[in-house]
Structure 1
Amino acid sequence: MKTVRVNLYYIGCIAGIFVFIFLFRNLGYLIKEFALHVNVNVEVCDTCSMRHKNKLHNTERISNVIHQIYFPLKSKTPPVELTKARDTWIRAHKNYTHYLWNETSILKLMREHYPHLEPIYHSYDYWVRRLNIVKYLSTYHYGGWYADMDVTCKHNLDELTERAFRQNKSVVQHLTFPVGTSNDFFGVTPRHQFLKSVLDHLPNSNRWFIFPYPNTVLTTGTTYLWGRYLNYPYQDEFLILEQNDVATYMQHHHDSTWHGWDALLIRFFVHHFKQLFGLTILIVLVLVIHCLKRSHSNKTIT
């Protein structure tokens, strides 16, 4: 019996050490990234901004290119609803170059131009984490616009491209609920150092956050991209669209094929935060009143 207790004690100590390391390493990273904004991996100087470099290389406009991605998980060809959604972009942008990326084509681009990214690309166990890398790498290399396959086009992007050019903006993103920016639709000039910082920072974000959903959004997904924006020193290069503004150009049907039970639970809490917060306060008050009554009752008895 004593041996069992000793073994349990050591097991508990080892587990406690691992929990401490996990919390220290991951919480430290999240605080630096999203609160302190000290994870800057871009050179800061008078001539280091993309505004200066774009003028130098005459690449101030977002390219007439639209990137989309399809990873054949269940079928080699996209389902009908995704094909219809993609056709809306092709019909509205006949003078654009359209890319439909898959793992074969992105690996070809990676091996030819960015071989240093291949090890971390293959290190991701979940397909959607790799898909996010395709978004950033394809738009970094060619510039242009990216749109998820379950996003339909409502308006030609020439006007938005011109708007960004007039305002001297080289990245276009939009806000998302509940906080931050989304990576389901964005535009950027070629070889933009913001996306370079996104790609260069991947080894630092490659951590284990226990559940699949945070493992995705915090390491390569929308929250990761937002964190890179918060740490980017030239935020005046961004045109950030409000949700009602971006709705002029596109509609996201939220296919969410990669979302698991944890994502659904988080979304439920986010969407019903006020009700759940009120319910929690009510339960706490009831428990406090109950405890006070019991305490008073015990004193009366004695």
Structure 2
Amino acid sequence: MKIRLKPNHHPLILLRAAHARVKTHSRLVTVVSVLLGIFLLIYGKTIFHVTREFLTHSNFNFNLCKRFHQMTHVETRRSAIPKNIHQVFLNVSNNRVEFFNEYEPYRRTWQDKNPGFKYILWNESMIEDLINTSYPSIAPLYKRYRNVWQARADIARYVVVHYMGGIYADIDITCRRSMNELFKEIGDKRVALNYTYNPFGIANDFFVASKNHEFMAHVLDGLQDADVLYFTPFLNSMFRTGPMYMLGRYLNYPHQEDIYFLQSSRLYISSERSNKSWHGVDGYIIAIIWNGVDSLQIISIILLIIFIVRLNKLLRIRAKLVKKSRKQVQFFDRRRMMPIIEEDAL
């Protein structure tokens, strides 16, 4: 028996109707429930982290977990950016050694154009010694990324800039102008970041911060919570330690007014040949979709899908009505005057 529901029906009637509908499709409900349970079991922590970090901006660790905050906010604003230039190279394979040698002229530009700066090229053993000595709470996470050199390189750059302060740049980036001009543009700010559109987030291949700055401590604070599972290796790199991780840290930072965003980093650096060897197939697909499809095309595709779904539903309803009408239409045989079923369409 079908119940025709109305808005003024008693809640018990609505519950009975819902129970009857669930009972009718019990097998489908069971399958969907099991799949949803598995999905939440695998990605529940990820959903919670993304919601907290990017949607609600409810950053708990800034107030409760200041493990690396060695300076107050006032002291941070008074500290100067030291003239240090940091670059990191983790030798993880023979191919990386060839890559290192290929970009030797790029590294030279940082020393040639900044004679008054201290240049430091960090290798793997130097990074491990620094983390084990000064950042022991990060050491287990750093070791857990043993086979993910991108994440280790990201953690390394955050650690060295927090530990010593100064400028960080990837070894495949060319310095075009003196960093003294960059310091003049920054003014009294103590952190300078650069937003990236390839594909999205805050770029971590070039940034500036003073020693023990509160924002860099804030970045180190969130590494443990960000260690969750995403859908593809590229998204793992982006959201765990990469540009999207930096964006999440910025969104949750309570003193965003202290951070300077470069109007055009191309005035100081050149990264046209920046290596994307860490991008897998999923990374290239995401980049193509992100850079090649604009918002209007996405909206058009969504509307087209909705139209196709609705049209399919209407056609199914029409087919049911035609089938029902064929059963109900009758006429009389002239000879026997007996009613028979008419099978012609309406």
Query: What is the TM-score normalised by the length of structure 1?
Result: 0.83
**What are the residue-to-residue correspondences of 1:1-302 with 2, within 5 Å?**
16-43=36-63, 50-55=73-78, 59-60=79-80, 62-72=81-91, 73=93, 74-76=95-97, 78-124=99-145, 125-164=147-186, 166=187, 168-177=188-197, 179-242=200-263, 245-252=264-271, 253-274=273-294, 275=297, 277-279=299-301, 281-282=303-304, 285=307, 288-289=310-311, 292=314, 301=345
Larger RCO of the pair (alpha carbons < 8 Å, separation 6+): 1
Distance 2:312 2:52 in 1: 42
Structure 1 residues 208, 87: CA separation in 2 closer, same or farther (over 3 Å shift)? same
Larger Rg: 2
Q: SS of 2:212's equivalent?
A: coil
Map Cα deviations across residues 183-240 of structure 1 (whole Å, 9 max, x no partner).
1110000011211121122111111113101111111111111111111111111001
Structure 1 residues 87, 213: CA separation in 2 closer, same or farther (over 3 Å shift)? same
Displacement of 1:264: 0.8
Deviates further, 281-290 or 207-216:
281-290
Distance 2:278 2:132 in 1: 27
Question: Share of identical aligned residues, percent?
Answer: 28
Q: Is the 8 A contact 1:269 1:276 kept in 2?
A: no
Q: SS of 1:19's equivalent?
A: helix
Displacement of 1:135: 0.7
Query: What is the TM-score normalised by the length of structure 2?
Result: 0.73
Deviates further, 272-281 or 68-77:
272-281
Distance 1:174 1:15 in 2: 40
Structure 1 residues 21, 182: CA separation in 2 closer, same or farther (over 3 Å shift)? same
Structure 1 residues 297, 13: CA separation in 2 closer, same or farther (over 3 Å shift)? closer
Map Cα deviations across residues 79-133 of structure 1 (whole Å, 9 max, x no partner).
4442122112111112111111121110111222222221110111411001100
- In structure 1, runs of 5+ residues without a counterpart are 1-9
Displacement of 1:288: 4.9
Map Cα deviations across residues 219-278 of structure 1 (whole Å, 9 max, x no partner).
111111111111111111100123xx2111112233111100111111111112234553
Distance 1:207 1:28 in 2: 10
Q: Is the 8 A contact 1:51 1:237 kept in 2?
A: no
Equivalenced residues, count: 283
Map Cα deviations across residues 45-91 of structure 1 (whole Å, 9 max, x no partner).
xxx75344442xxx22x211111111222254644442122112111
Distance 1:271 1:75 in 2: 28
Which letter does structure 2 place at the counterpart of 1:171?
V
Structure 1 residues 235, 12: CA separation in 2 closer, same or farther (over 3 Å shift)? closer
Q: SS of 2:229's equivalent?
A: coil
Q: Is the 8 A contact 2:200 2:243 kept in 1?
A: no
Deviates further, 210-219 or 19-28:
19-28
Displacement of 1:24: 2.7
Distance 2:37 2:320 in 1: 42
Q: SS of 2:204's equivalent?
A: coil
Which letter does structure 2 place at the counterpart of 1:209?
Y
Deviates further, 205-214 or 10-19:
10-19
Q: Is the 8 A contact 2:111 2:119 kept in 1?
A: yes
Q: SS of 2:282's equivalent?
A: helix
Q: SS of 2:61's equivalent?
A: coil
Q: SS of 1:183's equivalent?
A: strand
